Structure 1
Amino acid sequence: MRKILFLVLAMLVVSSCAEELIEKPDSLIPEDKMVSIIKEMAIVNAAKGTNLSRLRENGVEPSVYIFNKFKIDSAQFVNSDRYYASKPLQYENMYKKVESDLEELRLKIEEEKKVRDSLSLIEKNKKNIDLKTNDSTKTKKVQK
């Protein structure tokens, strides 16, 4: 009797885990596009946190900008986000992808900044050398 009860209970647990909590929306945003949207939202929110006045000056509303860029509406985003959130492992993998993409972007920007800084330093040193050369040439001419 206990074995049968355990078996029935195990079947109920397995069948309830396979059940979808939220129905798949008709206008579901594909996972890869959703990752791109979330990544863009993170970037725009970071910009909003540091340069809100500049965004306002240019008439940029962050969420509207993103929805227009990806050709979606807020309801489609909310429904898709809710659907993916009902699948925790898939949702976690999406956010891990967003995190790794943002980290790659950060490293790329840091590398570009190092190159720009190095070029600026070389240009500055070159100007200083040119100025010193011109000064020493003028001084020599005066001494003659």
Structure 2
Amino acid sequence: MKRACSTTFITIDRVRNDLKRSINKLRIAKHLLISAVALIVTLSGCTKNDKPANLIPRDKMKNILTDMHLIESRSYRIVKDDSAKSVTKASYLFIFKKYNIDTAQLRTSMEYYLSNPEMMDQMYEEMIDSLQKRQSKLSIANRPTMDSTLIKKNLQKDKLKRDSVLKARDSVRKRLHFDVRKSPVKL
């Protein structure tokens, strides 16, 4: 009898140990499954994005962004009130009409270009170059050109003005009956 009991206990102990091992294996399998799912989700987010169907071409997008940044810079210079907001909104609507796009197309294109940072950096470098060229053209166009003959005429006019002032001063002195420096009144 003693023997039967001991074998029963041994069998129960074996079953208990087998259950513990099975449970541990299930826990490990559960952790592996969760890790595998997390890895798949992570890697699926890293895949290269395909171009959307209504993607705005790169050069057109660069021009749109340039115009939008110019509008933003102008709106910061305007006093912040309701009229400034309406002017900015009207300017954005003008851009949408000018380039024949809508907000959904702009949004999907921005998401695509922002998911490709190298392409976006190149676009911004080209935008900066074009804005600098535009600024230099405007500064040259606004700078007055001075012709050498025009400079000579201006110098002659200045000399004539100085001469006329000197002549007027001399004529005033001649009209005075007494010299201002030598007053006849004694103090």
TM-score with structure 1 length normalisation? 0.62
Q: Which has the larger radius of gyration?
A: 2
Cross-structure match for 1:104: 133
Cross-structure match for 2:108: 79
Distance 1:49 1:80 in 2: 25
Q: Which has the higher contact order (CA 8 A, sep 6+)?
A: 1
Distance 1:79 1:52 in 2: 32
Ranges in structure 1 where 5+ consecutive residues have no aligned partner: 1-14, 140-144
State the one-letter code of the partner of 2:47: E
Q: How does 1:1-144 map to 2 (within 5 A)?
A: 19-21=47-49, 23-51=50-78, 56=83, 60=87, 61=89, 62-113=91-142, 115-116=143-144, 129=157
Q: Deviations over 1:56-100 (max 9, x none)?
A: 48x632321211111111111111011011111111101111111
Aligned residue pairs, count = 118
* RMSD between aligned residues: 3.9
TM-score with structure 2 length normalisation? 0.49
Distance 2:78 2:157 in 1: 38
Q: Deviations over 1:24-76 (max 9, x none)?
A: 211100000000001111111111111367xx48x632321211111111111
Distance 2:146 2:106 in 1: 42
Relative to structure 1, is the Cα distance of residues 116 and 70 closer, same or farther in structure 2, using a 3 angstrom cutoff?
farther
Ranges in structure 2 where 5+ consecutive residues have no aligned partner: 1-42, 168-187
Higher helix share: 1
